[in-house]
Structure formats: C-alpha cells, structure tokens
C-alpha cells in the first residue's frame, strides 16, 4: 500500500459498513504498509453496533506493519459481534507497537472459535499482541495468545513490490506465495 494512502485517517484497509449475517473470508493474502504510522488505522473491520457478522475465516494471511492503534487496538472493532471465528496459520509482523493490539476485541462472548498456529513478531517491546481483547471472554476452543517469534520472520522485505521472504522458522505461517 503506498505510504500516502497509509497516512490517511481512513487507513490502509478499513471496512466500516452494514454487515449483518455476513461471512468474511481472508485467505492467503499479504496486507502491508511501508512503515508503522501509529495515529493511523491500518486494518479495521467495524459495523453498526448491535449487528452480528455470521462468520470470519482468516487463514494463511501475512500482516506487515498493520496495526489498529487509533481509537482502539483491534482489527475487528470493539462491539462487532461475530458468531463463528476461524483464525489459523496467520503471521503478524508488528515490531513497533505503541499500545496493546488485538485481532478481535470485545463482544465475542457467545462466539465459537478455532484459532491455531498464529504467530507474531513484536520485537520484544513492552506491549502485547493478542488474538482476543483483554476485556473479552475468550470463545470456547480458542487461544487468547498468539505465539510470539523471538526473531524477525523475514530474511528480506521489499515493500515496493510486496515481496516478503520468510525465514525457515516462519515458513509454515502466513501467505503461501
């Protein structure tokens, strides 16, 4: 995503709409911005309060410098109700967080979820990156934590062309390209 777009208040990937009973699928994608820009939203799904998304499926995705630091710290916004969540084999590269971040925030108490083999790289900073928000009950069958990698998952990063070469230790996670 070009830096100019990432610097706008809308963020690089923002979906804010009427989503009742929707099924959202994210499979084998690479979402990235050039550098983290903390006041700006990078990846955000939100909907009108009180509406429910039927399911969210996230498998084999790579997120590079994609944060949700403005307003709240969740990719799926506080108050978005989701009936079913599947999040497997995703890779999150978030080395410069300025606050805790979550993939799914509050409002998930009644959800069913399967979360397996998700990893993140935070560069050992003082902030936490979790699958589910701190104030949310973790759905049955889900993990709250995302396994943290001790070293960068990339041996090279080309933001111009969107090419991120993974290390051998990270090869099993994220987009398969």
List Cβ neighbours of 27 (8 Å cut-off, separation of 6 or more): 57, 58, 59, 60, 61
Rounded to whole angstroms, the Cα distance separating 53 from 116 reads 21
Residues 142-176: pLDDT tens digits?
Answer: 777 899 999 999 999 998 888 999 999 999 999 99
Mean pLDDT of all residues belonging to the chain: 80
Tell me what the mean pLDDT of segment 45-52 comes to.
70
* Res. 2 pLDDT band, cuts 50 70 90: very low
Q: Positive or negative, the Cα torsion across 89, 116, 103, 58? A: positive
The model's pTM: 0.87
Residues 104-136: pLDDT tens digits?
Answer: 876 565 668 888 999 999 988 788 888 887 666
* Ramachandran region, residue 131 (left: φ > 0; alpha: ψ -120 to 50; beta: rest): alpha
* Ramachandran region, residue 61 (left: φ > 0; alpha: ψ -120 to 50; beta: rest): beta
């Amino acid at each position: 995503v070009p830096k100019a777009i990432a610097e706008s208040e809308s963020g690089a990937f923002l979906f804010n709409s009427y989503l009742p009973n929707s099924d959202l699928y994210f499979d084998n994608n690479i979402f990235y911005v050039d550098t983290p820009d903390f006041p700006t939203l990078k990846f955000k799904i939100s909907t009108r309060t009180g509406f429910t998304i039927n399911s969210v499926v996230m498998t084999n995705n790579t997120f590079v410098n994609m944060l949700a630091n403005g307003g709240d710290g969740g990719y799926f916004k506080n108050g978005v109700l989701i009936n079913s969540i599947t999040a497997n084999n995703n890779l999150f590269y978030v080395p410069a967080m300025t606050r805790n971040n979550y993939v799914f925030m509050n409002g998930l108490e009644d959800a069913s979820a399967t979360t397996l083999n998700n990893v993140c790289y935070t560069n050992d900073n003082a902030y936490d990156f979790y699958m589910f928000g701190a104030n949310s009950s973790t759905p049955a069958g889900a993990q709250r934590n995302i396994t943290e990698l001790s070293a960068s998952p990339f041996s090279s990063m080309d933001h111009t062309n969107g090419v991120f070469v993974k290390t051998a230790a990270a090869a099993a996670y994220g987009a398969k390209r």
